């Protein structure tokens, strides 16, 4: 009986790993790259108007914003109130994430 539960656990882990890899590949396929938003950091930190490069990169990364918000590595920066102001200055709306 222990052997069958161990096999079931292994299969569960394999499925979870494949689902996780699929999500990573989807993000990469969509071109999601939080580092591309680094030109926006001065605007996010200080509230100054965003640069043209910031706005260009933000528009390219717009489909990825919900992924960035949910990511613990970027969530706090993205949730900064100045981020919304930066996006609005670039002509973008704050995302509504599921």
pTM greater than the 0.75 cutoff: no
For the chain, helix (H) and strand (E) counts, in that order, are 6, 0
Task: Give domain status of residue 54, yes or no.
Answer: yes
Task: Give domain status of residue 25, yes or no.
Answer: no
| pLDDT, position 9 | 34
- Tally Cβ neighbours within 10 Å of residue 49: 13
- CATH number, domain of 46, equals 1.10.110.10
Average pLDDT, the chain: 78
The most distant pair of C-alpha atoms in the chain lies apart, rounded to whole Å, by 64
- Reported as a single tens digit per residue, the pLDDT across 32-57 is 999 999 999 999 999 999 999 999 99
- Reported as a single tens digit per residue, the pLDDT across 16-25 is 333 343 444 4
Domain count, the chain: 1
| pLDDT, position 30 | 59
Task: Give domain status of residue 12, yes or no.
Answer: no
Q: State which residues form the domain around 47.
A: 34-92
| pLDDT, position 38 | 96
């Amino acid at each position: 009986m222990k052997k069958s539960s161990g096999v079931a656990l292994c299969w569960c882990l394999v499925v979870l790993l494949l689902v996780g890899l699929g999500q990573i590949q989807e993000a990469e396929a969509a071109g999601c790259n939080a580092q591309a938003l680094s030109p926006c950091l001065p605007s996010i930190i200080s509230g100054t108007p965003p640069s043209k490069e910031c706005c260009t990169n933000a528009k390219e990364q717009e489909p990825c914003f919900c992924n960035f918000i949910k990511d613990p590595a970027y969530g706090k920066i993205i949730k900064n109130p100045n981020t919304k102001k930066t996006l609005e200055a670039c002509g973008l709306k704050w995302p509504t994430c599921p």
